Amino acid sequence: MDTTLPTEDENKGGYGNEMVSEAKSSESAMQMGDLADRNETSVLQTLLDYSLWPLLLIGALIPTGIGIAFGHGPLAFNIVYFSLAGLLFVIEKLYPHEKSWLHSDGQEIPDLAHTAFTKAFVQLLIISLTWLGLATVVGGESGSGFWPNEWPMIFQVLLALVVAEFGLYWAHRVAHEWMPLWWFHAVHHSSKKLWFFNTGRFHIVDTLKSVVFSAPLLALAGTPKDVVLWFGAITAYIGFLTHCNIRMKFGVLSYIFNTPALHRWHHSMDLREGNKNYGENLMIWDLIFGTYYDDTKRRPPAEIGIKDAMPKSFWGQLVEPFRWKKFQKAAKSGATTKELL
Ligand SMILES: [Zn+2]
Ligand SMILES: [Zn+2]
Protein backbone atom coordinates (compact mmCIF):
# COMPACT_ATOMS: atom_id res chain seq x y z
CA MET A 1 0.00 0.00 0.00
CA ASP A 2 1.35 3.41 -0.98
CA THR A 3 0.66 5.86 1.81
CA THR A 4 2.64 8.71 0.22
CA LEU A 5 0.58 11.88 0.16
CA PRO A 6 1.01 14.61 -2.49
CA THR A 7 3.49 17.28 -1.46
CA GLU A 8 2.47 20.93 -1.14
CA ASP A 9 4.21 21.75 -4.42
CA GLU A 10 2.34 19.05 -6.28
CA ASN A 11 -0.95 20.45 -4.98
CA LYS A 12 -0.11 23.99 -5.94
CA GLY A 13 0.92 23.28 -9.50
CA GLY A 14 -1.59 24.54 -12.10
CA TYR A 15 -4.77 24.47 -9.97
CA GLY A 16 -7.28 27.36 -9.73
CA ASN A 17 -8.68 28.14 -6.25
CA GLU A 18 -11.80 26.03 -6.75
CA MET A 19 -9.79 23.14 -7.94
CA VAL A 20 -7.45 23.52 -5.01
CA SER A 21 -10.32 23.21 -2.54
CA GLU A 22 -11.71 20.24 -4.52
CA ALA A 23 -8.31 18.69 -4.57
CA LYS A 24 -7.98 19.34 -0.85
CA SER A 25 -11.28 17.68 -0.02
CA SER A 26 -10.45 14.65 -2.13
CA GLU A 27 -7.04 14.65 -0.54
CA SER A 28 -8.52 14.57 2.94
CA ALA A 29 -10.84 11.75 1.82
CA MET A 30 -7.79 9.94 0.56
CA GLN A 31 -6.05 10.59 3.83
CA MET A 32 -8.98 9.13 5.74
CA GLY A 33 -9.07 6.12 3.45
CA ASP A 34 -5.36 5.66 3.86
CA LEU A 35 -5.69 6.00 7.59
CA ALA A 36 -8.40 3.35 7.69
CA ASP A 37 -6.25 1.09 5.52
CA ARG A 38 -3.28 1.73 7.70
CA ASN A 39 -5.28 0.95 10.84
CA GLU A 40 -6.60 -2.24 9.28
CA THR A 41 -3.07 -3.27 8.30
CA SER A 42 -1.67 -2.42 11.67
CA VAL A 43 -4.44 -4.35 13.46
CA LEU A 44 -3.78 -7.40 11.29
CA GLN A 45 -0.06 -7.00 11.67
CA THR A 46 -0.30 -6.57 15.42
CA LEU A 47 -2.46 -9.69 15.59
CA LEU A 48 0.18 -11.58 13.60
CA ASP A 49 2.99 -10.17 15.76
CA TYR A 50 1.34 -11.33 18.97
CA SER A 51 0.11 -14.71 17.73
CA LEU A 52 3.24 -16.03 15.96
CA TRP A 53 5.21 -17.11 19.04
CA PRO A 54 2.34 -18.97 20.82
CA LEU A 55 1.12 -20.47 17.52
CA LEU A 56 4.57 -21.82 16.64
CA LEU A 57 5.12 -23.24 20.12
CA ILE A 58 1.65 -24.83 20.39
CA GLY A 59 1.94 -26.07 16.79
CA ALA A 60 5.15 -27.88 17.76
CA LEU A 61 3.84 -29.21 21.09
CA ILE A 62 0.61 -30.81 19.79
CA PRO A 63 2.24 -33.36 17.43
CA THR A 64 4.94 -34.01 20.04
CA GLY A 65 2.23 -34.75 22.62
CA ILE A 66 0.44 -37.11 20.23
CA GLY A 67 3.75 -38.91 19.61
CA ILE A 68 4.45 -39.27 23.35
CA ALA A 69 0.86 -40.52 23.99
CA PHE A 70 1.31 -43.24 21.34
CA GLY A 71 4.72 -44.28 22.64
CA HIS A 72 6.73 -42.70 19.81
CA GLY A 73 7.95 -39.61 21.66
CA PRO A 74 11.55 -39.48 20.37
CA LEU A 75 10.42 -40.03 16.75
CA ALA A 76 7.74 -37.34 16.99
CA PHE A 77 10.21 -34.97 18.62
CA ASN A 78 12.76 -35.41 15.86
CA ILE A 79 10.18 -34.90 13.09
CA VAL A 80 8.82 -31.75 14.77
CA TYR A 81 12.35 -30.45 15.52
CA PHE A 82 13.41 -30.51 11.85
CA SER A 83 10.00 -29.32 10.60
CA LEU A 84 10.11 -26.36 12.99
CA ALA A 85 13.65 -25.52 11.82
CA GLY A 86 12.43 -25.51 8.18
CA LEU A 87 9.41 -23.39 9.02
CA LEU A 88 11.47 -20.83 10.94
CA PHE A 89 13.94 -20.64 8.05
CA VAL A 90 11.08 -19.61 5.71
CA ILE A 91 9.37 -17.19 8.14
CA GLU A 92 12.69 -15.45 8.90
CA LYS A 93 13.03 -14.65 5.20
CA LEU A 94 9.43 -13.41 4.87
CA TYR A 95 8.93 -11.59 8.16
CA PRO A 96 12.29 -10.71 9.75
CA HIS A 97 12.81 -8.78 12.96
CA GLU A 98 16.22 -7.45 11.85
CA LYS A 99 16.81 -7.27 8.09
CA SER A 100 20.59 -6.86 8.50
CA TRP A 101 20.66 -10.29 10.19
CA LEU A 102 19.47 -11.93 6.96
CA HIS A 103 22.96 -11.61 5.51
CA SER A 104 25.39 -14.47 6.03
CA ASP A 105 27.87 -14.09 8.89
CA GLY A 106 30.06 -16.86 7.48
CA GLN A 107 29.49 -18.94 10.61
CA GLU A 108 27.07 -21.53 9.22
CA ILE A 109 29.61 -24.38 9.36
CA PRO A 110 30.78 -23.68 12.96
CA ASP A 111 27.11 -23.19 14.00
CA LEU A 112 26.14 -26.53 12.51
CA ALA A 113 29.24 -28.30 13.84
CA HIS A 114 28.70 -27.06 17.42
CA THR A 115 25.02 -28.06 17.24
CA ALA A 116 25.76 -31.55 15.90
CA PHE A 117 28.72 -32.12 18.23
CA THR A 118 26.93 -31.11 21.44
CA LYS A 119 23.76 -32.99 20.41
CA ALA A 120 25.71 -36.18 19.67
CA PHE A 121 27.66 -35.82 22.91
CA VAL A 122 24.60 -35.31 25.11
CA GLN A 123 22.82 -38.21 23.41
CA LEU A 124 25.88 -40.44 23.97
CA LEU A 125 25.94 -39.34 27.60
CA ILE A 126 22.30 -40.33 28.07
CA ILE A 127 22.90 -43.71 26.39
CA SER A 128 25.96 -44.35 28.60
CA LEU A 129 24.05 -43.41 31.75
CA THR A 130 21.20 -45.72 30.75
CA TRP A 131 23.69 -48.50 30.09
CA LEU A 132 25.27 -47.93 33.49
CA GLY A 133 21.81 -48.10 35.04
CA LEU A 134 22.03 -44.58 36.47
CA ALA A 135 19.20 -43.28 34.33
CA THR A 136 16.69 -45.66 35.91
CA VAL A 137 16.34 -43.05 38.64
CA VAL A 138 15.18 -40.61 36.00
CA GLY A 139 13.64 -43.06 33.60
CA GLY A 140 11.65 -45.30 35.95
CA GLU A 141 8.26 -45.99 34.33
CA SER A 142 6.32 -45.14 37.45
CA GLY A 143 8.83 -42.57 38.68
CA SER A 144 10.35 -42.51 42.14
CA GLY A 145 11.65 -40.05 44.69
CA PHE A 146 9.35 -37.18 45.58
CA TRP A 147 7.72 -36.93 42.19
CA PRO A 148 3.92 -36.35 42.24
CA ASN A 149 2.97 -39.03 39.67
CA GLU A 150 -0.71 -38.56 40.38
CA TRP A 151 -0.73 -34.97 39.05
CA PRO A 152 -2.12 -34.34 35.55
CA MET A 153 0.69 -34.46 32.96
CA ILE A 154 0.59 -30.72 32.25
CA PHE A 155 1.34 -29.88 35.91
CA GLN A 156 4.09 -32.49 36.07
CA VAL A 157 5.72 -30.91 32.99
CA LEU A 158 5.41 -27.43 34.53
CA LEU A 159 7.02 -28.72 37.73
CA ALA A 160 9.90 -30.25 35.74
CA LEU A 161 10.38 -26.95 33.90
CA VAL A 162 10.57 -24.94 37.14
CA VAL A 163 12.87 -27.45 38.89
CA ALA A 164 15.30 -27.82 35.97
CA GLU A 165 15.15 -24.10 35.28
CA PHE A 166 16.69 -23.41 38.70
CA GLY A 167 19.80 -25.36 37.63
CA LEU A 168 19.81 -23.91 34.13
CA TYR A 169 19.50 -20.37 35.47
CA TRP A 170 22.55 -20.75 37.72
CA ALA A 171 24.52 -22.62 35.07
CA HIS A 172 23.96 -19.69 32.72
CA ARG A 173 24.54 -17.00 35.32
CA VAL A 174 27.89 -18.37 36.54
CA ALA A 175 28.97 -18.62 32.90
CA HIS A 176 28.58 -14.84 32.69
CA GLU A 177 29.95 -13.98 36.13
CA TRP A 178 32.86 -16.41 36.52
CA MET A 179 35.45 -15.85 33.81
CA PRO A 180 36.77 -19.43 33.32
CA LEU A 181 33.23 -20.48 32.39
CA TRP A 182 32.67 -17.35 30.29
CA TRP A 183 35.58 -18.39 28.04
CA PHE A 184 33.43 -21.33 26.89
CA HIS A 185 30.09 -19.49 26.88
CA ALA A 186 31.69 -16.71 24.80
CA VAL A 187 31.46 -19.04 21.77
CA HIS A 188 27.66 -18.74 21.89
CA HIS A 189 27.77 -14.97 22.38
CA SER A 190 30.32 -14.40 19.62
CA SER A 191 27.52 -14.58 17.01
CA LYS A 192 27.02 -11.24 15.31
CA LYS A 193 23.41 -12.00 14.51
CA LEU A 194 20.59 -14.09 15.91
CA TRP A 195 18.69 -16.65 13.87
CA PHE A 196 17.23 -20.12 14.43
CA PHE A 197 20.38 -21.68 12.99
CA ASN A 198 22.73 -20.60 15.82
CA THR A 199 20.43 -21.81 18.62
CA GLY A 200 22.76 -24.79 19.21
CA ARG A 201 26.03 -22.86 18.90
CA PHE A 202 27.44 -23.87 22.28
CA HIS A 203 30.90 -25.09 23.20
CA ILE A 204 30.67 -28.70 24.37
CA VAL A 205 31.99 -27.75 27.85
CA ASP A 206 29.29 -25.08 28.11
CA THR A 207 26.56 -27.61 27.24
CA LEU A 208 28.00 -30.21 29.61
CA LYS A 209 27.96 -27.66 32.45
CA SER A 210 24.24 -26.96 31.84
CA VAL A 211 23.48 -30.70 31.93
CA VAL A 212 25.45 -31.13 35.17
CA PHE A 213 23.56 -28.23 36.77
CA SER A 214 20.06 -29.36 35.76
CA ALA A 215 19.86 -33.14 35.19
CA PRO A 216 20.66 -34.17 38.81
CA LEU A 217 17.75 -32.04 40.03
CA LEU A 218 15.33 -33.92 37.78
CA ALA A 219 16.97 -37.23 38.71
CA LEU A 220 16.78 -36.59 42.45
CA ALA A 221 13.12 -35.64 42.16
CA GLY A 222 12.46 -38.93 40.33
CA THR A 223 11.03 -37.30 37.22
CA PRO A 224 9.30 -39.93 34.99
CA LYS A 225 10.65 -40.59 31.48
CA ASP A 226 7.74 -39.00 29.59
CA VAL A 227 8.00 -35.83 31.66
CA VAL A 228 11.74 -35.65 30.88
CA LEU A 229 10.91 -36.07 27.20
CA TRP A 230 8.36 -33.24 27.39
CA PHE A 231 10.92 -31.08 29.15
CA GLY A 232 13.57 -31.81 26.50
CA ALA A 233 11.18 -31.05 23.64
CA ILE A 234 9.92 -27.79 25.17
CA THR A 235 13.51 -26.66 25.84
CA ALA A 236 14.49 -27.42 22.23
CA TYR A 237 11.48 -25.59 20.72
CA ILE A 238 11.72 -22.55 23.02
CA GLY A 239 15.46 -22.41 22.26
CA PHE A 240 14.74 -22.23 18.52
CA LEU A 241 12.14 -19.53 19.10
CA THR A 242 14.31 -17.37 21.42
CA HIS A 243 17.01 -17.14 18.77
CA CYS A 244 14.87 -16.79 15.64
CA ASN A 245 14.99 -13.58 13.63
CA ILE A 246 11.24 -13.15 13.26
CA ARG A 247 9.22 -10.03 13.92
CA MET A 248 7.05 -10.83 16.94
CA LYS A 249 5.51 -9.21 19.99
CA PHE A 250 4.94 -10.84 23.36
CA GLY A 251 3.19 -8.65 25.93
CA VAL A 252 2.66 -10.50 29.20
CA LEU A 253 4.29 -13.69 27.81
CA SER A 254 7.69 -12.06 28.39
CA TYR A 255 7.06 -12.23 32.15
CA ILE A 256 6.59 -16.00 31.99
CA PHE A 257 8.73 -17.35 29.13
CA ASN A 258 12.14 -16.57 27.71
CA THR A 259 10.95 -14.81 24.56
CA PRO A 260 13.10 -13.57 21.64
CA ALA A 261 12.64 -9.99 22.90
CA LEU A 262 14.27 -10.87 26.24
CA HIS A 263 17.00 -12.98 24.68
CA ARG A 264 17.93 -10.21 22.23
CA TRP A 265 18.75 -8.05 25.26
CA HIS A 266 20.78 -10.94 26.64
CA HIS A 267 22.95 -10.90 23.50
CA SER A 268 23.65 -7.15 23.89
CA MET A 269 27.32 -6.13 24.22
CA ASP A 270 26.27 -3.63 26.91
CA LEU A 271 26.61 -5.73 30.05
CA ARG A 272 23.84 -3.78 31.81
CA GLU A 273 21.55 -5.55 29.31
CA GLY A 274 23.66 -8.61 28.47
CA ASN A 275 24.18 -9.84 32.03
CA LYS A 276 20.42 -10.24 32.41
CA ASN A 277 17.70 -12.73 31.42
CA TYR A 278 19.51 -15.98 32.17
CA GLY A 279 16.37 -18.15 32.00
CA GLU A 280 16.39 -20.98 29.45
CA ASN A 281 12.61 -21.46 29.18
CA LEU A 282 11.04 -19.55 32.05
CA MET A 283 11.75 -16.15 33.62
CA ILE A 284 10.72 -17.12 37.16
CA TRP A 285 14.26 -17.24 38.60
CA ASP A 286 15.32 -14.00 36.85
CA LEU A 287 12.33 -12.30 38.44
CA ILE A 288 13.13 -13.79 41.86
CA PHE A 289 16.89 -13.10 41.75
CA GLY A 290 16.60 -9.64 40.19
CA THR A 291 18.20 -10.28 36.78
CA TYR A 292 15.06 -9.72 34.69
CA TYR A 293 15.43 -7.03 32.02
CA ASP A 294 13.11 -5.68 29.34
CA ASP A 295 12.47 -2.30 27.78
CA THR A 296 9.54 -2.32 25.37
CA LYS A 297 10.14 1.35 24.43
CA ARG A 298 13.52 0.61 22.87
CA ARG A 299 14.66 -1.82 20.23
CA PRO A 300 17.33 -4.31 21.37
CA PRO A 301 20.68 -3.65 19.62
CA ALA A 302 21.17 -5.03 16.11
CA GLU A 303 24.91 -4.98 16.63
CA ILE A 304 25.68 -7.86 18.95
CA GLY A 305 28.66 -10.06 19.80
CA ILE A 306 31.56 -9.99 22.27
CA LYS A 307 34.45 -7.67 22.92
CA ASP A 308 36.92 -10.57 23.18
CA ALA A 309 38.61 -12.15 20.18
CA MET A 310 37.11 -15.34 18.73
CA PRO A 311 38.52 -17.56 15.97
CA LYS A 312 36.43 -17.98 12.84
CA SER A 313 36.87 -21.73 12.57
CA PHE A 314 35.01 -24.44 14.49
CA TRP A 315 38.28 -26.03 15.59
CA GLY A 316 39.64 -22.69 16.82
CA GLN A 317 36.43 -22.04 18.77
CA LEU A 318 36.72 -25.51 20.30
CA VAL A 319 40.33 -25.24 21.53
CA GLU A 320 40.95 -21.55 22.31
CA PRO A 321 38.69 -21.36 25.41
CA PHE A 322 41.11 -23.85 27.03
CA ARG A 323 43.98 -21.35 26.67
CA TRP A 324 41.89 -18.19 26.64
CA LYS A 325 44.25 -15.64 28.23
CA LYS A 326 47.15 -16.61 25.99
CA PHE A 327 44.93 -16.46 22.93
CA GLN A 328 43.45 -13.06 23.82
CA LYS A 329 46.94 -11.66 24.36
CA ALA A 330 48.13 -13.04 21.02
CA ALA A 331 45.02 -11.72 19.25
CA LYS A 332 45.53 -8.26 20.74
CA SER A 333 49.15 -8.05 19.67
CA GLY A 334 48.40 -9.55 16.25
CA ALA A 335 50.58 -12.57 17.00
CA THR A 336 47.90 -15.18 16.29
CA THR A 337 47.78 -16.83 12.89
CA LYS A 338 44.10 -17.67 13.36
CA GLU A 339 41.48 -15.79 11.38
CA LEU A 340 39.27 -13.85 13.76
CA LEU A 341 35.58 -13.05 13.74
ZN1 LIG B 1 24.53 -16.07 27.87
ZN1 LIG C 1 21.53 -17.11 22.91
Q: Ligand nearest 194 Cα, by number?
A: 2
Ligand 2 center to 241 CA (angstroms): 10
Ligand 2 centroid from CA 265, angstroms: 10
Tell me how far apart the alpha carbons of residues 296 and 222 are, in angstroms, rounded to a whole number: 40
Ligand number nearest to the C-alpha of 198: 2
- 182-195 in b/e form (b: 16+ CB < 10 A) is bbbbbbbbbbbbbb
CA 222 and chain centroid, separation:
28
* Neighbouring-strand partners of residue 96: 246
For residue 187, how far is its CA from the centre of ligand 1 (angstroms)? 10
CA of 174 to the centre of ligand 1 (A): 10
- Report CA(172)–ligand 1 centroid distance (Å): 6
Strand, coil or helix: what is 340? strand
Split at pLDDT 50, 70, 90, the class of 11 is: very low
**Could you report the per-residue pLDDT of 286-339, keeping only the tens digit for each?**
999 999 999 999 999 999 999 999 999 999 999 999 999 999 999 999 888 889
Q: What is the mean pLDDT of residues 126-146?
A: 60
259-289 pLDDT per residue, tens: 999 999 999 999 999 999 999 999 999 999 9
- The C-alpha angle with vertex 59 and arms to 143 and 87, in degrees rounded to 5, equals 120
Tell me how far the alpha carbon of residue 62 lies from the centroid of ligand 1, in angstroms: 29
Predicted local distance difference test score (pLDDT) of residue 120: 84
Angle made by CA atoms 275, 285, 217, in degrees to the nearest 5: 115
pTM (two decimals): 0.84
